[in-house]
Amino acid sequence: MGTPSATDRWHVDGSQVIDWQEWGEEFVVRVASRAETHLLSAAAGAALLSLLDGRESLTLEALYARAFEDFGTDRPGGPTTSASELESLRTIVDDFARLGIVTRIS
């Protein structure tokens, strides 16, 4: 799909049926269409919930803001977003894409 850019957007396809349960610091996610279950960290769970909320396509910056502000999750690096935090989020959404949970739109 090419080199990632800051304008790339990520989304969960509307046909995906995803059930989730939060257990303390972790999330258990079931992708019904493929009968897969995944254990996610708190950060990955917050990112996925943000993508599922309204099924909007979001840039990494917008996803970061929503995941750590709208869902009240502690921001890993404090009040500002650093390049390393965005890179960590990119790793999370890249893993989601590899698993077929999200799609990147360039």
Per-residue tokens: 3: 């080199």
Give the span between the Cα atoms of 78 and 38, in whole angstroms. 28
Residue 77 has pLDDT above 60, yes or no: no
Give the span between the Cα atoms of 31 and 42, in whole angstroms. 18
Distance of alpha carbon 74 from its chain centroid, rounded? 15
Q: pLDDT exceeding 90 applies to what percent of the chain?
A: 47
Q: What is the pLDDT of residues 11-34, one digit of tens each?
A: 998 888 999 999 888 999 999 988
51 Cβ partners below 8 Å, 6+ apart?
10, 11, 12, 58, 63, 96, 102
* Residue 7: per-residue pLDDT: 84
Give the three-class secondary structure for 67.
helix
51-79: average pLDDT: 75
Give the span between the Cα atoms of 106 and 47, in whole angstroms. 19
Q: What is the pLDDT of residues 85-102, one digit of tens each?
A: 888 899 999 999 999 899
Which residue ranges make up each domain of the chain? 9-15+43-105
* Residue 9: per-residue pLDDT: 94
